[in-house]
Amino acid sequence: MKGALIGCGFFAENQMRAWQSLAEVDIVAVCDPDPVRREHFQTVFGVAHAFAEAKTLLEQCRLDFVDIAAPTPAHAALVRLAADHGVAIICQKPFAGSPDRAKALIQYCEQKGVSLSIHENFRWQYAVREVIRRVHDNEIGTPFFGRISYRNGFDVYQNQPYLARVERFIIEDLGIHVLDIARALFGDVSRLSCETNRVNPDIAGEDVATIMLRHDGGATSIVDCSYATHLTPDPFPQTLIEVDGPHGSLRLTADERIYIHTRDGCQCHEVTSHGPDWSTPPWTIIQESVVAFQTHWLECHRAGIEADTSGRDNYNTLALVDAAYEAAAHHTVMTPRRWS
């Protein structure tokens, strides 16, 4: 399959390296308005073509898909442009700034007959996939409680300085991943509440958020995120998970192990991520998950089925982000929108 990467920023390097590790894919072009970034990608990754404008790229290259890694405000125009050219689309999260814009993009892609998938990689981390599998295999019974925590003091602003300037920060940039894990584990959400805080005085948005979710299946979960929590060693970029069911409890801990507790005792399972040969700590967990997502997308595309994180599925995660901000602003319980 021939593809193009649109957007040559910090995280896009992971997407590019992951594509190059898949023998069935050839990234034939990159696109970025910044000449330094696009030339860097073209040189480092040996890409045949580099463009400043996506319109020119799509007019001059015959593609099977595009991978959009540009900033969120550019997504709507790029998704529509790619759909007009009939190519499959992968778009970085959050793929739209609101549920209304997301709905319009999903419907536009459906009208054009092209697939829209969202690059949501946290649920594809090896340890998280193992938790999801064990919960869905009913190892502890139907869950009634869960907690998904992402708390660290990592300097996320060093490589992505723009994050210090956005008014919506940790829920929209990071919490969207953790909320997606909650949905993957426990299903869709009927109501939620949320509280936020800004601990770092030098940023514009919130860097701490705690969200309580009531899922359709009856489980209650807590999603909590923080970039203001100082720990030694720092667990970045690990997501820690607790799940309680009637037959036992599951814990994914910072030592990269899953512990299953039952009345008969405790079982321990190692879930250490073995990243690709190009991965670099502490990013190994994330980089491995990028390869896993792209492999999944490729398999689904070949089979003619939607990826697990299709636009329609991801709409319900994005709606949780929107509802969380509303709940925090008004100190109330919200019923999130849902794709129907």
Domain membership of residue 73 (yes or no) is yes
Domain membership of residue 236 (yes or no) is yes
Dihedral of the alpha carbons of 136, 139, 140, 146, in degrees to the nearest 10: -40
User: What are the strands of the beta sheet with 208-215, ordered from one edge?
Assistant: 189-197, 208-215, 220-226, 145-151, 240-245, 248-253, 257-262, 265-270
Residues 160 and 87 in one domain: no
Quote the mean pLDDT of the chain: 97
Residues 62 and 140 in one domain: no
Domain membership of residue 50 (yes or no) is yes
What is the mean predicted confidence (pLDDT) over 254-271? 97
pLDDT at 300 over 90: yes
Domain that holds residue 219: 123-272+310-330
Residues 111 and 135 in one domain: no
Residues 35 and 102 in one domain: yes
- Total length of the chain: 340
pLDDT at 233 over 90: yes
Domain membership of residue 39 (yes or no) is yes
pLDDT at 110: 98
Percentage of the chain modeled with pLDDT above 70: 100
Residues 115 and 253 in one domain: no
Residue burial 10-46, b: 16+ Cβ < 10 Å; e: rest: ebbbbbbbbbbeeeebebbbbbbeeeebbebbbeebe
What stretch of H or E contains 101?
helix 99-112
**Distance from C-alpha of 301 to C-alpha of 320, rounded to nearest angstrom:** 27
What is the mean predicted confidence (pLDDT) over 81-106? 97
What stretch of H or E contains 268?
strand 265-270
pLDDT at 296: 98
pLDDT digits (tens, 9 = 90+) for 158-216: 999 999 999 999 999 999 999 999 999 999 999 999 999 999 999 999 999 999 999 99
- Residue pair 42/5 in contact (Cβ under 8 Å)? The answer is no
**Distance from C-alpha of 59 to C-alpha of 46, rounded to nearest angstrom:** 21
Give the residue among 218, 216, 213 at the shortest CA–CA distance from 141.
Answer: 218
Number of domains into which the chain is organized: 2
Residues 159 and 56 in one domain: no
Residues 243 and 314 in one domain: yes
Domain membership of residue 7 (yes or no) is yes
Residues 40 and 9 in one domain: yes
Domain membership of residue 47 (yes or no) is yes
Residue 10 is part of a domain; what is its CATH number?
3.40.50.720
Helix axes 12-20, 35-45, angle to 10 degrees: 20
Q: For CA atoms 24, 89, 156, 46, give the dihedral sign.
A: positive
Percentage of the chain modeled with pLDDT above 90: 99
What is the mean predicted confidence (pLDDT) over 74-87? 98
pLDDT at 340: 81
What is the mean predicted confidence (pLDDT) over 58-81? 97
Domain membership of residue 254 (yes or no) is yes
Residues 115 and 128 in one domain: no
Q: Of 69, 91, 119, which residue is a domain's last?
A: 119
Residues 106 and 132 in one domain: no
Residues 171 and 258 in one domain: yes
**Distance from C-alpha of 243 to C-alpha of 194, rounded to nearest angstrom:** 20
pLDDT at 111: 98
pLDDT digits (tens, 9 = 90+) for 143-166: 999 999 999 999 999 999 999 999
- Residue pair 130/250 in contact (Cβ under 8 Å)? The answer is no
Residues 115 and 167 in one domain: no
Domain membership of residue 301 (yes or no) is no
